[in-house]
């Protein structure tokens, strides 16, 4: 270990981080090895540039315009354009050209659930987990198109082992084991106010996942892009683990991606409130981008057209399509997404080895965002959907975007489908039924399918689950 310490000492001294070895001599062999491995995995050049404030991406808001997107009005279900897209997407699915990709590497801090977020029981009646709902949607689509649709799952160090165990124990919810591919994203250390690394334990530097943008590199580093190509898969249908309403395989969306020859496609909502917490779809210096709501100038967030609608109307809900060839090109050429900074309270051990739980933010975490991949493409599109149909994320333990709101929104969507199929059931002015309703994706995964297969009563008067 002598040489090793020398090597580490030199590296850390060069970057002003020698304090990381403060407790090294008191560690046992295993702990020393662990810390040494962790230090070696860090890109210190990158960290040095992050420590200097001017590494932030320069964003010039002078030349920012709302960006155009395919509107729902123009792609209503019976519209010719929508029909063509649906057909193109269905063909791609039947030819086995599509994989589903769930990013599940986040830490779920706001939800505060003990376990990977994907194992959170969200089903309003059945308590189905988020992973189960997503996997059943993939299974339903693969049955419909009579082709395997692989499910890619991105984890992070903090939840990888638990996620694997969970999915294996549940036998991948019926998906063939060789169609589920689990891989880990990279981590990046946080820095304190003085640009120093923080120790979580004497043998461990505090690190966190590098943001959902890390998925584009993780797809490559894990060999997944090669694996997809060897199966003839050309399109990755990307979504986040915490949105049970996501249509994880949407033929029309996939079809628009194909017809418009896009490398990146995004689903967008019409923003209705200035402070809605969605990334905003813009054209900036001629390039399509999504700008996080906190980074947008507040006056732009409030601007309205003559008809009273918000001028910057597209809000991103993190349901995307990526062409496999695009992810390959990024990685073959080498790319770096910009890092976004977040001030956080980061527990650490001080120079005496005492654990400190700060009451105020004491450091910065760095994350990349998947939509910044738009910086690297000329061919991107946005396609409109509605919140009611597709977006109700589980972010917080209570209040907005919580399990409670998400279960209510799921029940409302299923009530919509049932009513469209001619079933009578009570709803309030906003369409919410007074009881929970749940429909397994294996029973029906859209209003159209439900209309064809529904074999229940003509009237529903209480809690119901269809499976």
Contacts with ligand UTP, residue ranges (CB under 6 A) = 103-110, 117, 154, 156, 185, 209-212, 214, 240-242, 367, 395
CB of 396 to ligand UTP, least distance (A): 8
Residue 9 DSSP one-character state: H
Q: Select 97 or 117, whichever has its Cβ closest to ligand UTP.
A: 117
CB of 393 to ligand UTP, least distance (A): 7
Q: How far is the C-alpha of 59 from the C-alpha of 295, rounded, in Å?
A: 9
Say if residue 230 is exposed, middle or buried (CB neighbours under 10 Å; 0-12, 13-18, 19+): exposed
Q: Select 208 or 323, whichever has its Cβ closest to ligand UTP.
A: 208
CB of 222 to ligand UTP, least distance (A): 13
CA distances 58 to 55, 287, 336, Å, are 9, 15, 15
Q: CB–CB of 205/211 below 8 Å?
A: no
Q: Where are the alpha helices (DSSP H) in 260-307?
A: 298-302
Q: Select 103 or 199, whichever has its Cβ closest to ligand UTP.
A: 103
Q: Select 278 or 466, whichever has its Cβ closest to ligand UTP.
A: 278
CB of 244 to ligand UTP, least distance (A): 11
Q: Select 241 or 269, whichever has its Cβ closest to ligand UTP.
A: 241
Q: How many helices (H) and strands (E) does the chain have?
A: 14, 21
Q: Select 159 or 440, whichever has its Cβ closest to ligand UTP.
A: 159
Q: Select 150 or 279, whichever has its Cβ closest to ligand UTP.
A: 279
CB of 19 to ligand UTP, least distance (A): 26
Q: CB–CB of 359/241 below 8 Å?
A: no
Q: CB–CB of 441/173 below 8 Å?
A: no
Q: How far is the C-alpha of 103 from the C-alpha of 280, rounded, in Å?
A: 21
β-strand pairing of 98-103 with 151-155: parallel
Phi, psi of 13 (to 5 degrees): -65, -40
Q: How far is the C-alpha of 373 from the C-alpha of 279, rounded, in Å?
A: 14
Residue nearest to ligand UTP (CB): 106
Nearest to 191, CA basis, from 204, 176, 206, 201: 206
CB of 239 to ligand UTP, least distance (A): 8
CA distances 103 to 153, 280, 378, Å, are 6, 21, 24
CB of 330 to ligand UTP, least distance (A): 18
Q: Select 156 or 392, whichever has its Cβ closest to ligand UTP.
A: 156
Q: How far is the C-alpha of 246 from the C-alpha of 440, rounded, in Å?
A: 14
β-strand pairing of 355-356 with 287-291: unpaired
Q: Select 109 or 285, whichever has its Cβ closest to ligand UTP.
A: 109
CB of 371 to ligand UTP, least distance (A): 11
CB of 365 to ligand UTP, least distance (A): 10
């Amino acid at each position: 270990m002598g040489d090793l310490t020398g090597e580490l000492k030199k590296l850390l001294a060069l970057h002003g981080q020698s304090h990381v070895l403060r407790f090294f001599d008191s560690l046992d062999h295993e702990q020393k090895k662990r810390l040494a491995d962790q230090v070696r995995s860090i890109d210190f050049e990158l960290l040095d540039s992050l420590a200097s404030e001017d590494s932030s991406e320069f964003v010039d808001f002078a030349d920012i315009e709302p960006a155009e997107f395919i509107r729902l009005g123009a792609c209503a279900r019976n519209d010719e354009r929508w029909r063509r897209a649906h057909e193109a997407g269905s063909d791609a699915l039947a030819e086995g050209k599509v994989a589903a990709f769930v990013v599940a590497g986040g830490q779920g801090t706001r939800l505060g659930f003990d376990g990977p977020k994907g194992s959170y029981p969200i089903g309003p009646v059945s308590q189905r987990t988020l992973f189960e709902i997503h996997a059943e949607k993939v299974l339903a689509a693969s049955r419909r198109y009579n082709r395997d649709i692989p499910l890619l799952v991105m984890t992070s160090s903090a939840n990888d082992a638990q996620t694997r165990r969970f999915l294996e124990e549940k036998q991948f919810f019926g998906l063939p084991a060789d169609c589920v591919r689990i891989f880990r994203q990279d981590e990046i250390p946080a820095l304190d106010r003085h640009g120093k690394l923080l120790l979580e334990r004497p043998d461990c530097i505090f690190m966190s996942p590098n943001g959902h943008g890390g998925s584009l590199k993780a797809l490559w580093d894990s060999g997944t892009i090669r694996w997809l190509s060897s199966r003839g898969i050309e399109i990755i249908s990307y979504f986040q683990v915490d949105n049970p309403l996501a249509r994880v395989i949407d033929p029309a969306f996939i079809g628009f991606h194909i017809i418009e020859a896009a490398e990146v496609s995004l689903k967008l909502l019409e923003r209705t409130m200035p402070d809605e917490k969605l990334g905003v779809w813009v054209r900036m210096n001629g390039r399509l981008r999504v700008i996080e709501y906190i980074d947008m100038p507040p006056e732009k967030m409030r601007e309205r057209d003559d008809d009273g609608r918000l001028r910057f109307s597209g809000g991103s809900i993190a349901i995307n399509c990526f062409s496999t060839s695009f992810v390959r090109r990024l990685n073959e050429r080498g790319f770096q997404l910009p890092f976004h900074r977040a001030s956080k309270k980061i527990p650490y051990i001080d120079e005496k080895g005492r654990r400190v739980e700060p009451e105020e933010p004491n450091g910065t975490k760095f994350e990349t965002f998947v939509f910044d991949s738009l910086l690297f493409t000329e061919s991107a599109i946005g396609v409109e959907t509605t919140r009611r149909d597709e977006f109700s994320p589980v972010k917080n333990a209570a209040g907005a975007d919580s399990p409670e709101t998400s279960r209510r929104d799921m029940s409302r969507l299923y009530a919509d489908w049932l009513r469209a199929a001619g079933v009578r059931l009570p709803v309030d002015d906003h369409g919410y039924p007074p009881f929970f309703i749940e429909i397994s994706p294996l029973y029906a995964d859209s209003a159209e399918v439900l209309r064809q297969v529904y074999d229940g009563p003509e009237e529903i008067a209480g809690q119901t689950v269809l499976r």
